Amino acid sequence: MQFCCSCLWVWSRLFFFFLAAVVVTRVGAGDQRCDYSDIGASLGQRGDPASRTRLKEALLRLRELRELGDAEPQLGHDLEDQDDGLWERLSAAEKAAFQRLLSSGEIGAFLPPWRPWWWGWGRGLVQELGGAEGAQPPAAQKPEKKTPGSAPIHQPLIPQGASPPMGTQQPQESSCMAPTQQPEEMPSPVPAVPASVPPLSSLTCSPASPLVCFQLPNVLYAYVFALTLYNGDLSEDELLPEFSDMVLDVAGALGAKQVFHSTAEALQASLQAVTASRYPECPLGNAGAMMAVAQILMGENQAMQKGYSLAALSHLARLLGKAKKLMPTEERLRVYGAKKKCEFLLSWVNENQESLTVLALEVQREYKTHLEAVKEVDVVTKELQKMWGGKLPPAKKPLIEELD
């Protein structure tokens, strides 16, 4: 797993949310050690001017704590030195709980819930894509041979009233600290699309290659992967250079100018790039990220199917443009080229909406294939573990043993 300056920022942010849970727990228990114990009493005496003053002072102290927790550690300084004062406020049990949550990965449950904008709001439980199975594939795509089990795919795209699994387990209630239960969040707003998208003819003199369509799933997968890995929060400009590096590493169509001949090849290239770059697993999981790409390709409704794809490409182009200004001079040209590629795909999508349904079907087919492969590996793994009597194979015995 890569470790960089943004990891320190994320660590500090997680530490703040953990401290907030500690404060809530102490206040609820009436712990006199907590500096914020007067908040509960003040909330019940809002009509008293003196109580309002105490409440204001308590909230100011809480704000100071948040600013300390959100502060990004300076390069060259030990993170523990930055948060030494906050760390000392915790009891031994609370320190042990934080370290356990950090090592197990359960600390991610303390992050505020984020609903990706492509989940939409109020849509049906199941969106049937199989009805378009008879649609013609893009020009360069040869019809795939039908195999057993290749019937029209009907997968739940957006569960209504519940969030898809984010790949991490919730901390058990036995922990001394537990993240505050949050109500279901509204989805993030759909990124803005430019009022006018330039036509393809203004960007290139020759017709677009019939293989351009396969670059779109590759780019969208990188966008979904990187955005969800940052929990949708790129408000800090310092994160943009690393975000752009991540996108260019995962999207070979942007970073390495790869050419793909099928949707499956484009998606597999992204999965392999994530593994090769040793990035953390996408919070949505590999299959969940594929389904997110299908959701974006299908759009909010049939009338404006291209809307989500245009929004994603526009958003990515803007983020790359901001990142370019913060990159070293020798790296700006590469990021600029990726930004221009996103703008080219933006124009292509705007003029080829009819190709998006087929691409979405192919992405969903790859999603189903991936799930089946995972299930097969799981079955084989369980059989081997049963044969071994554990998770690891037994030690090999020598074939020839010398006797005295």
**Per-residue CA distances from 222 to 237, 242, 271, 287, 350 (Å):** 19, 13, 9, 13, 20
Report CA Rg, the chain. 25
| H helix and E strand count, the chain | 14, 0
Cβ(297)–Cβ(286) below 8 Å? no
Q: Name the token pair of 357.
A: 């349904």
Task: Give tens-digit pLDDT for 319-368.
Answer: 999 999 999 999 999 999 999 999 999 999 999 999 999 999 999 999 99
For 42-52, what is each residue's pLDDT tens digit? 444 444 555 55
**What pLDDT was estimated at residue 64?**
59
In total, the chain counts a number of residues equal to 404
Q: Choose between 186 and 25: higher pLDDT.
A: 186
Confidence (pLDDT) at 353? 94
Q: Are 32 and 19 in contact (CB under 8 A)?
A: no
When pLDDT is averaged across residues 65-83 and rounded to a whole number, the result is 50
> Quick check: pTM over 0.75?
no
Q: How confident is the model at residue 127 (pLDDT cuts 50, 70, 90)?
A: very low
66 CB burial (10 A radius; 0-12, 13-18, 19+) = middle
Asked whether 352 and 207 are in contact (CB, 8 A), the reply is: no
What are the tens digits of pLDDT across the range 217-269?
Answer: 999 999 999 999 998 999 899 999 999 999 999 999 999 999 999 999 999 99
Amino acid identity of 264? Answer: A
Give the pLDDT confidence score for residue 181 in this predicted structure. Answer: 45
Does residue 371 carry a pLDDT above 70? Answer: yes
